[in-house]
Amino acid sequence: MNNSLKPLALAPMATLTHRGLRTLIDQWGGCDYFFSEMVDCKSYVGNRKFESYYTDPAPHPDKLILQFVSADHEEFVKALTKAQDLPVAGFDINMGCSAHQICDHGAGIAWMSGPEEAWRLLESLRPLVRSGKTLSVKLRLGEKEDPAYLSRFCRGLEAVGVDFITLHPRTKKDKMGRPSRWTHLTELKADLKIPLWGNGDIRDVKSSNRGWETGADGLMIGREAVRSPWIFHFLKEKEKNQNFTLQVDLQEQAHQFHRLLEAHQPQEFWPTRAQRFWDYYFDHFPFGHKVKENIKRMRVYEDIRQACFAYLDTHPQEMIKVLV
């Protein structure tokens, strides 16, 4: 890990934390670690088409942590065996995804229902991680709020050699509309010797400060980093100077996103990646809801792009955002 006393990281998000978005965020600076999209172990081991895009370590291999997902112990072993010499900062095991297409098949948060099995998995993966790389786990609270169970689960991970844990303090069934329960970070932190990072609802200086107040060793930002790729830069600068202000040209940032998307992702990915980006980015524009909903039904990349920039071109008064 680097020497940042308060590391900020980009959260792993499917179809979002690809090289294009990571590069856009990195151009602003302030992000200490970038977590990749979920890498499916079986697809990675089988060299399926497009897998190289999921493990592309640029723009900063030394800051990239690849997140792997699977329901199968042996597939994890095969994947990390194959990946162990990649020039990345570390590997993260997904034990927190609650999407039905993931957990219903025994992956993601489903691992939290069997502590012993999860511990055996991490114990077998530890020797596969080269010196200088980290092995971490990202998880949620579990099926329900049970601090004793969560503590036991995480202490077991610590005992088998996990370097750090990231807690997203929501249960399996919690939707994003329900606030993260940050008090669990404080309670769990007291039970662990390894670093504990927090993830969930960090949008600005106030919510960032709340995260640090739990005693978290690092903070991870997801949705706000898509909506505002400059968030890491702003938080770091604001920490150094409370009077810091930032002016952002929203239209130029959108153009830059598309340039990077087209440069670093296969053409087949452009429509879905653009839709996902704009689903968050349109939150900056008070009258953009109709366009935001319309593009969800579009399948042609250029149609999506044109619809979005048609709105931006006709609303110049909304294009400059000032953060104070």
State the CATH number of the domain containing residue 22: 3.20.20.70
3-class secondary-structure state, position 241: coil
Q: 97 and 45, same structural domain? A: yes
Identify the pLDDT of residue 309: 98
d(CA 107, CA 56): 23
Backbone angles phi, psi at 89, to 5 degrees: -80, -25
Identify the pLDDT of residue 179: 84
d(CA 84, CA 91): 9
Q: 258 and 186, same structural domain? A: no
Please say which residue of 196, 222, 240 terminates a domain.
Answer: 240
Q: Which of 40, 48, 43 is closest to 67 using CA atoms?
A: 40
- Measured CA to CA in angstroms, residue 293 lies from 123, 227, 308 at distances of 45, 16, 11
Q: Which domain holds residue 51?
A: 8-240
Q: 163 and 27, same structural domain? A: yes
d(CA 87, CA 115): 31
pLDDT string in tens for the chain (324-residue length)? 544 578 999 999 999 999 999 999 999 999 999 999 999 999 999 999 999 999 999 999 999 999 999 999 999 999 999 999 999 999 999 999 999 999 999 999 999 999 999 999 999 999 999 999 999 999 999 999 999 999 999 999 999 999 999 999 999 988 777 889 999 999 999 999 999 999 999 999 999 999 999 999 999 999 999 999 999 999 999 999 999 999 999 999 999 999 999 999 999 999 999 999 999 999 999 999 999 999 999 999 999 999 999 999 999 999 999 999
Please say which residue of 209, 240, 271 terminates a domain.
Answer: 240
Identify the pLDDT of residue 177: 72
Q: 136 and 284, same structural domain? A: no
Identify the pLDDT of residue 3: 42
Identify the pLDDT of residue 174: 83
d(CA 17, CA 34): 8
- Structural domain includes residue 39: yes
Number of domains in the chain: 2
What tens digit of pLDDT does each residue of 240-259 get? 999 999 999 999 999 999 99
d(CA 2, CA 17): 21
- Between strands 320-323 and 246-249, the pairing is antiparallel
Q: 153 and 20, same structural domain? A: yes
Query: If you count them, how many residues does the chain have?
Result: 324
Please say which residue of 240, 256, 278 terminates a domain.
Answer: 240
Report how far Cα 217 is from the mean position of its chain's Cα atoms: 17
Q: 236 and 259, same structural domain? A: no
Q: 285 and 230, same structural domain? A: no
As beta bridge partners, residue 8 has: 219
Q: 111 and 125, same structural domain? A: yes
